[in-house]
Amino acid sequence: METIQPLNRTSFGNPANTGKVLSAEEALQLLYQWVENDRLRLHMKQVAALMKSWALEKEELDESTAHKWWLAGLLHDADWEKYPDDHCRVIIEELERRNIDPEIIHCIASHGPRHFGVEPQSKMDKMIYAFDELSGFIHAAALIRPNRYEEMDVKSVLKKLKTPSFAAQVSREDIQDAISRINYPVEDLITFIIEKQKEV
């Protein structure tokens, strides 16, 4: 991911488009058009499910707001496969062209502050940053277990996080930084991810 260029801006979308979203059908159509890799599609769907569940259960937000969280999660890596060097820039420009709510676009832009140079501000921003790397890491840990997610425990995930050779491409630094911003124990976040992600 080191080749990614910073976005060099911190303002996204037009405030006049607040509340404008893609339907679930439109968003999934975009996902399937842009992303051919099944593993990447699954990762994006997992992050989307985590975002929506968190919005509804932990933030007690309404369905339409939770849909925004879901959209940001579903599309955050939409351009990663086809445009790795312009990752984030291409999907942001596409959503701006479609007049989508700037909150969703900012959330996508802030999912990797070290890479894109955009700081997570809202709760939605901070949660996509926290879920992104950790979701992928926990999925990698599940894949090497005979029972996948069944009876997976927090202790084994924490142990793997301390093993640099396991899922080495996952940035421990980003995970730590993201967790430090959300004021929520890492153990509880891992439990939440295991529970919700296995259903995707």
Q: What is the largest CA-CA distance in the chain?
A: 50
* Domain that residue 24 falls in: 15-197
C-alpha neighbours within 13 Å on the C-beta side of residue 160: 22
Q: Check residue 105 and give its pLDDT.
A: 97
pLDDT in tens, 127-160: 999 999 999 999 999 999 999 999 899 999 999 9
Which stretches of the chain score pLDDT less than 70? 1-3
Q: Is residue 170 in some structural domain? A: yes
Contact indicator for 66, 52 with CB cutoff of 8 Å: yes
The total number of structural domains in the chain stands at 1
Residue 112 lies in a domain: yes
Give domain status of residue 104, yes or no.
Answer: yes
Angle subtended at Cα 187 by Cα 50 and Cα 171, rounded to the nearest 5 degrees? 70
Residue at 4 is within a domain:
no
Burial of residue 33 (CB within 10 Å: 0-12, 13-18, 19+) is exposed
Interatomic CA distance for residues 153 and 62, integer angstroms: 31
Residue 3 forms part of a structural domain: no
Residue 1 pLDDT: 43
- pTM for the structure as a whole: 0.95
The CATH number of the domain holding residue 154 is 1.10.3210
Burial 95-106 (b: 16+ CB within 10 A, else e): beeeebbbbbbb
Closest by CA position to 98, among listed 17, 194, 7: 17
Q: How far is CA 99 from CA 15, 18, 25, 78, 105, in A?
A: 10, 9, 17, 17, 10
Average pLDDT of the chain is 94
Predicted local confidence at residue 3, as pLDDT: 64
In a domain, 10, yes or no: no
The per-residue b/e assignment along 65-78, b for 16 or more CB within 10 angstroms, e otherwise, is bbbbbbbbbbbbbb
